[in-house]
């Protein structure tokens, strides 16, 4: 049990570390533990900016839109809306690279646009023995060569795409040529994604003439560029940042290497270590955890590299033990049962949160994969239009759907309706909207109203959707051509899921998030063995679990296969983590 005096001392020490980080001079690297207030420190540093009109601004760069919105919101709440506008910049790394290192060198026509992914437009790779959407082919940039090269990341294909490619008569080489040909035709029409933004940014910075046109404006615009969650930088991102640093742009990187969970996307913990040593020979450290209870700090320490002591819990004195829930996991679906009572695992978790007076609405349920989670099923990335629409319908009718899911649902409905109303038109929804002077509000309202009007999906849903599409009042400029744009086939209807009033999301979507209570579902046999014996330096799965448990403020619960509960209890008790098997 921590004494009040210890808590006061810990808080003062953590505040001093934060103040030092707020005052640090660029270039610098700040290394932080979970809940250290990275985002808080970065925004506070920005809020110290003087009121007068500045010639130079600061760029605050994050990896997620959630983090971006959080920083912008804090500035506005502090009455400093000026700090969200030019000359400042608050945004994702993709948008920063695009805005300052790619777009200035693109022709104005066709208008260059950065898409979140190729899935935002209908971009099929055609001319092979099967049609596969461009977004199903993840791409990689290798910055290690003098001329950076890009390739299709064949080892990262999802299961369905791999099956399709394996069954194709064409070789990977032939596919790769077609994929790049398709991609080029979209780039020629002005469309790019984060991958192209990286590749072109790197190319531009390595090309003396291009760099000479881009770097001076960037240096005169920004007195400082801060990158949050720097542990998620890919090798290409780091190569770009290195070049900016070498060109004299004052950089501050803030990161937590223990939370590096994007190795599969090319994140490079080792490359970050050497770059950060270049920026700050002795890094500035933030070791006070402003989020989690001492018990949760101890739990987290069992999942990270080295034998470092737990971080110091700065603001909490809860002593709720880690709750271990013996669980019978469903082989498919998410109807997992609490083994001793037979209750649904989320329902049982809810009764425990009540027992500890932790409000259920401030709790979240998480797992490595979407398939493990209750609540609405995830939009499968590579399905037919009718199945996507069925997912969109479920999302639009689901009270717990996230803003991101609703945006995606709306985009799907727009795509389906536009496919019917504007059949001959190439280009994504925004070029169709521009061509017919349609506002985003008008289009989104129409799409949502249409989604809401549809009956719940079932096997014979297709004809009903088609009738509804034909009957729906069309937007200006619509010129349907017979059956073009009719969504074919039957939807794969996701089973209705038990509603839960708790937020649910996969761990990779929880970066930067927090909740009073967190239930982590570990359905795989051998998880406890992995916890006990794997090394977080090399086993990213442990780091992913680390991110999950460090989202919790007061209560962490872990559901494991019932036969592994005792082993986990022993493991944690042996590491001085108080547990309760419930």
Ligand X SMILES: Nc1ncnc2c1ncn2[C@@H]1O[C@H](COP(=O)(O)OP(=O)(O)OP(=O)(O)O)[C@@H](O)[C@H]1O
Tokens representing residue 320 in the block: 């709720």
Q: Is 233 annotated as a binding residue?
A: no
Instruction: Name the residue nearer to ligand X (CB basis): 290 or 545.
Output: 290
- Contact between 35 and ligand X per CB under 6 A: yes
Contact between 504 and 517 under an 8 Å Cβ cutoff? The reply is no
On the 0-12 / 13-18 / 19+ scale of CB atoms within 10 A, 99 is middle
Q: Give me the 291-330 binding string for ligand X, x by CB under 6 A, dash otherwise.
A: x---------------------------------------
Tokens representing residue 122 in the block: 């209908």
- Contact between 39 and ligand X per CB under 6 A: yes
Q: Which of 512, 517, 523, 536 binds ligand X (CB under 6 A)?
A: 512
Q: Is 33 annotated as a binding residue?
A: yes
Pick from 368, 358, 352: nearest CA to 581: 352
Q: Is 533 annotated as a binding residue?
A: no
Instruction: Name the residue nearer to ligand X (CB basis): 366 or 550.
Output: 550
Contact between 552 and 516 under an 8 Å Cβ cutoff? The reply is yes
Q: Alpha carbon of 282 to those of 254, 278, 279, 481, 520: distances in Å?
A: 14, 9, 9, 66, 35
Q: Which of 27, 34, 310, 429 binds ligand X (CB under 6 A)?
A: 34
Chain positions 362 to 381 lying near ligand X, rule: CB under 6 A, are none
Q: Which of 224, 232, 256, 430 binds ligand X (CB under 6 A)?
A: 256
Instruction: Name the residue nearer to ligand X (CB basis): 37 or 462.
Output: 37
Q: Is 409 annotated as a binding residue?
A: no
Q: Which of 29, 40, 96, 262 binds ligand X (CB under 6 A)?
A: 40
User: CB of residue 314 vs ligand X: minimum separation in angstroms?
Assistant: 8
- 30's torsion region: left (phi>0), alpha (psi -120 to 50) or beta? beta
CA distance 18 to 288: 9
The number of residues that bind ligand X (CB under 6 A) is 17
Instruction: Name the residue nearer to ligand X (CB basis): 262 or 290.
Output: 290
Q: Give me the 209-248 binding string for ligand X, x by CB under 6 A, dash otherwise.
A: ----------------------------------------
Q: Alpha carbon of 260 to those of 63, 81, 181, 538, 544: distances in Å?
A: 12, 32, 34, 11, 8
CA distance 182 to 124: 8
Instruction: Name the residue nearer to ligand X (CB basis): 24 or 567.
Output: 24
Instruction: Name the residue nearer to ligand X (CB basis): 314 or 392.
Output: 314
Q: Is 34 annotated as a binding residue?
A: yes
Q: CB under 8 Å to 251, separation ≥6 — which residues?
A: 26, 27, 28, 224, 225, 226, 227, 241, 244, 245, 279
CA distance 248 to 231: 22
- Contact between 262 and ligand X per CB under 6 A: no
Helix (H/G/I), strand (E/B), else coil: 30: strand
Q: Is 32 annotated as a binding residue?
A: yes
Instruction: Name the residue nearer to ligand X (CB basis): 40 or 63.
Output: 40
Mark the segment that binds ligand X (CB under 6 A) among 27-35, 207-215, 349-357, 362-370. 27-35
Q: What are phi and psi of 91, to 5 degrees?
A: -175, -175
User: CB of residue 520 vs ligand X: minimum separation in angstroms?
Assistant: 15
Residues at the site binding ligand X, with contacts judged by CB under 6 A? 15, 18, 32, 34-40, 256, 259, 290-291, 512, 514, 550
Which residues sit in the known binding site?
32-39
Which residues sit in the known binding site for ATP?
32-39
């Amino acid at each position: 049990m921590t004494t009040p005096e210890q808590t006061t001392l810990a808080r003062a020490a953590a505040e001093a570390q934060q103040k030092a980080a707020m005052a640090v001079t660029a270039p610098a690297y700040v290394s932080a533990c979970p809940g250290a207030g990275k985002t808080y420190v970065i925004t506070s540093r920005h809020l110290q900016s003087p009121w007068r009109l500045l010639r130079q601004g600061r760029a605050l760069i994050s990896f997620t839109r959630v983090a971006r919105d959080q920083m912008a919101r804090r500035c506005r709440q502090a009455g400093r809306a000026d700090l969200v506008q030019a000359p400042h910049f608050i945004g994702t790394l993709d948008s920063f690279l695009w805005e300052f290192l790619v777009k200035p060198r693109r022709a104005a026509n066709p208008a260059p646009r950065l898409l979140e992914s190729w899935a935002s437009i209908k971009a099929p790779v055609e001319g092979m023995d099967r049609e596969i959407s461009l977004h199903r082919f993840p791409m990689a940039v290798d910055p290690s060569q003098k001329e950076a090269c890009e390739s299709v990341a064949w080892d990262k294909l999802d299961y369905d795409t791999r099956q399709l490619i394996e069954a194709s008569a064409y070789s990977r080489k032939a596919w790769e040529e077609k994929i790049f040909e398709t991609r080029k035709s979209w780039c020629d029409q002005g469309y790019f994604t984060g991958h192209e933004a990286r590749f072109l940014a790197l190319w531009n910075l390595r090309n003396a003439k291009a760099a000479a046109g881009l770097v001076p404006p960037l240096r005169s615009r920004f007195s400082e560029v801060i990158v949050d969650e720097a542990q998620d930088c890919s090798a290409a991102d780091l190569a770009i940042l290195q070049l900016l640093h070498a060109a004299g742009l004052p950089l501050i990187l803030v990161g937590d290497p223990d939370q590096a969970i994007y190795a599969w996307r090319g994140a490079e913990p080792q490359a970050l270590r050497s770059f950060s040593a270049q920026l700050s020979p002795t890094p500035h450290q933030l070791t006070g955890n402003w989020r989690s209870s001492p018990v949760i700090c101890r739990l987290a320490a069992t999942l990270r590299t080295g034998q470092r002591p737990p971080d110091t819990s700065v603001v909490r004195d809860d002593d709720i033990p880690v709750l271990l829930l013996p669980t019978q996991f469903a082989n498919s679906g998410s109807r997992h049962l609490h083994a001793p009572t037979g209750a649904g695992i989320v329902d049982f978790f809810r009764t425990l949160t009540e027992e500890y007076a932790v409000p259920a609405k401030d709790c979240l349920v998480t797992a490595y994969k979407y398939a493990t989670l209750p609540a609405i099923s995830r939009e499968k990335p590579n399905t037919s239009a009718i199945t996507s629409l069925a997912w969109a319908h479920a999302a639009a009718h689901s009270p717990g759907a996230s803003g991101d899911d609703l945006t995606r649902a709306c985009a799907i409905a727009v795509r389906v309706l536009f496919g019917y109303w504007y059949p001959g038109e190439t280009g994504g929804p925004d070029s169709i909207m521009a061509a017919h002077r349609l506002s985003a509000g008008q289009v989104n309202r129409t799409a949502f109203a249409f989604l809401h009007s549809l009956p719940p999906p079932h096997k014979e849903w297709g004809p009903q959707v088609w009738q509804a599409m034909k009957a729906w009042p069309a937007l200006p400029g619509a010129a349907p051509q017979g059956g073009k744009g009719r969504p074919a086939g039957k939807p794969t209807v996701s089973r209705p899921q038990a509603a839960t009033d708790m937020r649910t999301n996969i761990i990779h979507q929880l970066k930067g998030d927090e909740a009073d209570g967190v239930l982590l579902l570990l359905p795989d046999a051998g998880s406890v063995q992995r916890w006990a014996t794997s090394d977080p330096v090399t086993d990213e799965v442990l780091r992913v679990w680390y991110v999950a448990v460090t989202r919790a403020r007061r209560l962490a619960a872990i559901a494991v296969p019932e036969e592994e509960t005792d082993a986990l209890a022993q493991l944690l008790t042996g590491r001085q983590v108080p547990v309760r098997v419930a």
